[in-house]
Structure 1
Amino acid sequence: MKHLDWARNKQELGREKNKKGDVVEDEFELKRTAYHEAAHTIVAHYLDVPYRGVTIERRSKTLGHMRYEISEDFMNKDLLESRLAVAVAGKLGEDALSKPSIENSHSTGCLSDYKYARALATRLVTTYGFGSRLYPANGTWEMSEKYKALIDQEVKNLLTSAETKAKTILKEHAEQHVKLSEKLLQNYKLTADEIKQTFKDTTDSGSS
């Protein structure tokens, strides 16, 4: 199974560029990546989106990555909408670390997340038929400007709702966000079981 995961990761994310201790990395960028990926993971956890683990090990195509347990094709409407919230959570996670400035902007991962989230929201409305109405396929003569405007509004509504969900979860579980980020900075890679144990430890310490 480990060999299959390694091969799949290499194909989807590119080869590993470094592991812990291989190179001296920019400390802030690494910390920002940890907060980014931890935010994805926490929102996935509390919205019951199955995940396999998270890493901040760099690859040629990404700075970090949270791996889902099942693909988009096998998710229902609720899970797909939850996955939207997971997608937009990374930027919010970076905001929790520090407010962006000219010198300290969001990572490029935020742009990738936004493109994915917008594309997924569009598929929800059009391809999957989860919008308020059925729309003709994009590119056909029936796709009038009126339909495009309606689709754009539904996509915007989905993204706004997703961001609200993610913000609420990250606010409610701010301590776990920090702890998971710190754990990632220590270990660079965490399995689903290790993530859940981190959440349990944080909850237990907060209640004692």
Structure 2
Amino acid sequence: MLVKKETANKVINGLIIDPLIFTQKFVKGCDVCICSGECCYYGVYTDKSEYELIMSKKDRIIKSMDDSQTKNFEDWFEDEQEDSDFPSGIAVGTEVYNGKCVFLDKQGFCTLQKIAIEDGENKWKYKPLYCILFPLVIFEGKLTVDDEHLDRMHYCNKPINQVSTVFEACKNELKHVLGEEGFKELEEYRKEFFEQDEEDNEAA
């Protein structure tokens, strides 16, 4: 598929938009009852500010953890590392415990999201951005598909289950990272992208 240079370099809210998000096949939506939160098995990188927010809620988090999780908060995170894709410039990875992210319970639910819902907060209040976004990812300033991580999935990566696209399945996530106005701009860009693609195919 030919993508013109000016189309490929579309920027919204400071992020380069990879048109792959419009065409990459994906499942209809997240359903941990089917996959048990498999995408969370490997842990995630958080921004330092997200790490600090999570640690400020450690007592509340511990109360909602089950016996498959470690309640020793000193074992929750890896050492800090520099990463320009994070607002603070510092990334802090979550540890893996019992073969899954320390914050994933045995039913496949994220404890960070669970406590937010239980306390009447926005469900993503404590959840790291990269957890929210999957299968989307921000890499070197580009909003794209995390195909490397997606390739490890046993449910989301099966063609028989991919009845939608990343764009269609992740509209709320895209609104979260781009904002409402940014999402409207993305919808317009998507329309232009497919119109251009159709013109290119007719000219071929």
Query: What TM-score do the two structures reach when normalised by structure 1?
Result: 0.27
Higher relative contact order (CA 8 A, sep 6+): 2
Instruction: Looking at secondary structure, tell me which structure has more strand per residue.
Output: 2
Instruction: Looking at secondary structure, tell me which structure has more helix per residue.
Output: 1
Query: What TM-score do the two structures reach when normalised by structure 2?
Result: 0.27
